[in-house]
C-alpha cells in the first residue's frame, strides 16, 4: 500500500509545483520521504492573520489516500480550530465515515478524492473563518466569541512572531 501512497503523493506534489495555490508552498521535507511534508501558509488577506507566514507539517499514513494526513502548525497560532500544540482540527482531516458525535456529516470528512491542495485551501479558509462551535482551543473560541478585539490582538501577535518581529 505504501507504494501506491508514494505514487499519489508524488503526483500531488508535482501538481502543487506546477500550479501552486496563492499563498501556499508545500512539499516533502526531502524527496527520500514523501510521507513528511512541510508547508508555509500565508495569512489570508483582510483577516487578522494577514501578513503572517505560518509553517506547518503534514504527516501522511502509509495507506494514504484511504486515511487522512495529520497537520500541525510548528509555530504559535492562537485560533479556535488549532490545538495549543499546533494540531489542526478541521473536518477534512477527520477519518472517513460517520462522526461518532453526530456533529459532522460524512461528506465533510476525509475521503480519498480529497487532496493536499484541498486540505491546505481548507486550512486557509479556516484561518479566515474560525468555527467556534467545534473548538480545539477553548480559550481562543471563547475569545473569538466574547472579545473579538482581544482575539485580533492575539492573532496579530502570532503574525509578528511568525515573521520574527
Q: Could you list the active site residues?
A: 89
Cβ burial 36-71 (10 Å sphere, 16+ → b, else e): ebebebbbbeebbbeebebbbbbebeeebbeebbeb
Please tell me the distance from the alpha carbon of residue 53 to that of residue 127, in angstroms, as a whole number. 12
Q: Are 144 and 130 in contact (CB under 8 A)?
A: yes
The angle at the Cα of 131, spanning 151 to 40, to the nearest 5 degrees, equals: 75
Amino acid at each position: 500500500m505504501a507504494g501506491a501512497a508514494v505514487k499519489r503523493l508524488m503526483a500531488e506534489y508535482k501538481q502543487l509545483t506546477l500550479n501552486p495555490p496563492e499563498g501556499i508552498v508545500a512539499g516533502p521535507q526531502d524527496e527520500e520521504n514523501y510521507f513528511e511534508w512541510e508547508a508555509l501558509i500565508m495569512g489570508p488577506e483582510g483577516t487578522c492573520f494577514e501578513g503572517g507566514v505560518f509553517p506547518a507539517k503534514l504527516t501522511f499514513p502509509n495507506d494514504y489516500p484511504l486515511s487522512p494526513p495529520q497537520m500541525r502548525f510548528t509555530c504559535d497560532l492562537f485560533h479556535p480550530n488549532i490545538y495549543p500544540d499546533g494540531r489542526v482540527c478541521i473536518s477534512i482531516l477527520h477519518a472517513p465515515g460517520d462522526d461518532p458525535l453526530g456533529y459532522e456529516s460524512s461528506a465533510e470528512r476525509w475521503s480519498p478524492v480529497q487532496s493536499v491542495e484541498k486540505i491546505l485551501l481548507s486550512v486557509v479558509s479556516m484561518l479566515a473563518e474560525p468555527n467556534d462551535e467545534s473548538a480545539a482551543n477553548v480559550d481562543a473560541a471563547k475569545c473569538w466569541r466574547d472579545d473579538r478585539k482581544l482575539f485580533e490582538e492575539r492573532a496579530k501577535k502570532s503574525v509578528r512572531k511568525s515573521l520574527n518581529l
